[in-house]
Amino acid sequence: MADWDVNKAIAHLNAYSGEHSKGSCAHYVREAIEAGGGIKLKTHNSAKDYGSSLEAAGFHPLQNINPQAGDVAIIQPIPGHPHGHMTMFNGKIWVSDFKQYHGYYPGSSYRKLRPSVTFYRK
């Protein structure tokens, strides 16, 4: 099995993400991870459920986060957003289906409510 190339994953994520959410964060991050080669994630209906797939692919949960390129955040749901959120750090900002200029929480409601987040690193 080929080694995962974080630079290929990030290049894919940066190329396909937009300036605004498309409501498809898990799809975009999953495709970016797979574009890095050597990984095929089990798909889930909700972003909040991808932790087990990441762990099965060799990602490990982190106790403390000093983000590095390729780190993935899984964020639990809030009212109005039942699927939670999934995003990857590109070395400068968090990116999902859009470029997140305000941190790993995807919007003001998330930043206000601060739901649980688990960070993963390959």
Give the pLDDT confidence of 11-58 residue by residue, as tens digits.
Answer: 999 999 999 999 999 999 999 999 999 999 999 999 999 999 999 999
DSSP 102: T
Question: Residue 18: its pLDDT value, please?
Answer: 95
Domain ranges of the chain: 6-121
Helix (H) or strand (E) holding 34: helix 25-35
**CATH code, 6-121:** 3.90.1720.10
Count other Cβ atoms within 10 Å, centred on residue 74.
27
Q: Which residues contact 101 (CB under 8 A, 6 or more apart)?
A: 93
pTM: 0.95
Output the CA angle 26-30-34, nearest 5 degrees: 175
